[in-house]
Chain A
């Protein structure tokens, strides 16, 4: 297309103004400068977020290349020699890494299956509570664990499951069951980890669903009441379908984070005896990168993790878009 025939396009323009954008970089820059001069206050407001993204998310991407290099901290990123996919081959030949992938997927699946519905159920239950005082008290109680530091949470879990004085073993004792060394037994690690995660975050996450419920048009309920719907029917036929877009968005985000198990709590709770079920990709990266100094291998594992997460988000978003018309983008 000849330059003179280039279409006019409005970009973020107010009704009274039209900004011309052509395909040439020069005029794009010209447009940006003009827009910046006119709307500089908006760019100032945007600056902290842009800087945060650049410093903490984009600048580190430069370092990703060490996943393909024989990195040495003395030679630096640029001077270290390229080694291609050698680190990835090493990783996939390492049974510990394969075990970490398996554990990550299993723990995430448990969290998704058992943890994802809990905040939704909590929000639906809070929505049905009519006594305001009881509702506020119950909400405060379930929100509180979110504000406790992970270290304290780990301390509470370790104490609660202690074989000598832990409340769980004490209660088992009342039932005549011998003490169990929960945190040293691989088969108990996943339930304890997933359960404590639900206990800590379900209440706070329910706020998102409560907000979605608050946004449902009250006329829908009134119309249903006149039509003869019970509270149970209204919950199933109005509330849940109405908050389904929020549920799907949260699910997509959750699937995107499926490879990101909260590894701080794992590091605080696991021990070599439970590595078999507890060691996940992030703890593997932590041990390889920081404890063993194999930064290039850890970077390769991290890159693999990120690529899988990206693919999962893309798939979940596409499916959601096709099935329910709801998507992140």
Chain B
């Protein structure tokens, strides 16, 4: 299967630049997810790979071939669209066969390919039905069947699960991953859902305002976010981010939020000479311990709301007037959570970012970045 390379790719609509010099290498058989908020340029980047959008500057290669001037049909890519893009007047078999018929493949071969794909996707019983007679999940499978049947070098997915309900999305997510494992086709997948990105990707590309913020494996991005944006984007609920100032108390570095609230900082050498520096501390909700009243250590907080989720609960608090979410075990009940007034954070789990640039500080930031 082919690799895909984006070399300083720029996209402008008139005076508005929506993609700012994207560099990305996608290996053969790799499953890469482009993720980011609405308007970050992820779909535009995918459409440029497909050839549906012209590239203003830069170069896109599929395999060894530069495809800037190559028509979409000659790029050997197949695309799955958000709204399935199924032809309403054709039945499932005809929809799957559409690309092959356009390419004037022999009827016998089309029939065999459609049968094979329908078998893989569990659509054999629905071949005579029209899209309007199918459920959302079945329609999505037909859309994937249309892509698979052509045996392309690259699959492109443009938010293919966003029209499905939560349960079906989880099922289809697993099906897409199984399909990738089975077919081993290079895949580029666009989504705004970070859970989808985390569960599907070999590597995730996080985009924001037309730029790549960070590239890495899902766990890499979760454990070592390169900047405040990535830290806030990956993780559910998102990382707590609080502005603070570096202070030294008895030789121990702390992030001082206000006169009463502070967090211990990790003993990172990069921070020893930065007393007084403005930073943003990042603490994941699951990295916080809670203590009962009468504790004298830790960071004081004010309880706002407890949201029970079953085995765990989201505890909404505020630290020095700023919102702070804690993920806590329920242990069969939530009554013990209503007495929280102090939080404890292991410095080893603390993320520190420069307040001005937003970039990670200390050893966590080393070796990572877009």
Contact = CB atoms under 8 A, between A and B. Distances in A.
Given A228-B99, A228-B102, A233-B102, A223 B89 contact: no
B73 A222 contact: no
Given A227-B73, A242-B89, A244-B89, A222 B81 contact: yes
B139 to A, nearest CB: 13
Interface string A216-244: 01011011111111000100011001101
B120 interface: no
Nearest to B75: A226
Interface string A113-156: 00000000000000000000000000000000000000000000
Interface string A197-231: 00000000000000000000101101111111100
A242 B72 CA distance: 23
A229 B77 contact: no
B157 to A, nearest CB: 12
Given A224-B102, A225-B52, A241 B89 contact: yes
Interface in B57-102: 72-74, 77-79, 81-85, 87-90, 98-99, 102
28 contacts: A217-B83, A217-B85, A219-B81, A219-B84, A219-B85, A220-B85, A222-B52, A222-B79, A222-B85, A223-B81, A223-B146, A224-B102, A225-B52, A226-B52, A226-B72, A226-B73, A226-B78, A226-B79, A227-B73, A227-B98, A227-B102, A228-B73, A228-B74, A228-B99, A228-B103, A229-B102, A237-B87, A244-B89
A227 B81 contact: no
Contacts of B79: 222-223, 226
Contacts of B73: 225-229
Contacts of B88: 242
Contact of B72 (A217, A220, A225, A241): A225
A227 B81 CA distance: 13
A219 B86 CA distance: 9
Interface string B7-36: 000000000000000000000000000000
A308 B88 CA distance: 34
Interface string B40-56: 00000000001110000
Name A's interface SS: helix
B150 A223 contact: no
B103 A226 contact: no
Q: Sorted from nearest, which 4 A-B pairs have the closest CB atoms?
A: A228-B73, A227-B99, A219-B85, A223-B85
Contacts of B52: 222, 225-226
A178 to B, nearest CB: 52
Contacts of A225: 51-52, 72-73
Interface of A: 217, 219-220, 222-229, 233, 237-238, 241-242, 244
Contacts of A220: 85, 87
Contacts of B102: 224, 227-229, 233, 237
B350 to A, nearest CB: 45
Interface string B98-125: 1100110000000000000000000000
A233 B72 CA distance: 15
A244 B88 CA distance: 11
Contacts of A222: 52, 79, 81, 85
Contacts of B85: 217, 219-220, 222-223
Given A217-B83, A227-B73, A237-B98, 15 more contacts: A219-B83, A224-B102, A226-B50, A226-B73, A227-B98, A227-B99, A227-B102, A227-B146, A227-B150, A228-B72, A228-B99, A228-B102, A241-B89, A241-B90, A242-B88
B245 to A, nearest CB: 51
A223 B82 CA distance: 11
Given A219-B81, A233-B102, A226 B87 contact: no
Contacts of A237: 87, 98, 102
Nearest to B89: A241
A242 B86 CA distance: 11
Nearest to A229: B102
Contacts of A244: 89
A141 B44 CA distance: 38
A222 B85 CA distance: 9
Contacts of A228: 72-74, 99, 102-103
A191 B282 CA distance: 81
Contacts of A226: 50-52, 72-73, 77-79
Nearest to A219: B85
A242 B131 CA distance: 13
Contacts of A241: 87, 89-90
Contacts of B50: 226
Nearest to A222: B52
Contacts of A233: 102
A238 B101 CA distance: 14
A223 B160 CA distance: 13
Q: Name the residue in B74, B77, B102 with the highest tally of chain A Cβ atoms < 10 Å from its Cβ.
A: B102
A91 to B, nearest CB: 45
B15 to A, nearest CB: 20
Contacts of A242: 88-89
Contacts of B78: 226-227
Contacts of B72: 225-226, 228
B128 to A, nearest CB: 15
A215 B299 CA distance: 58
Contacts of B150: 227
A222 B52 CA distance: 7
Interface in B145-177: 146, 150
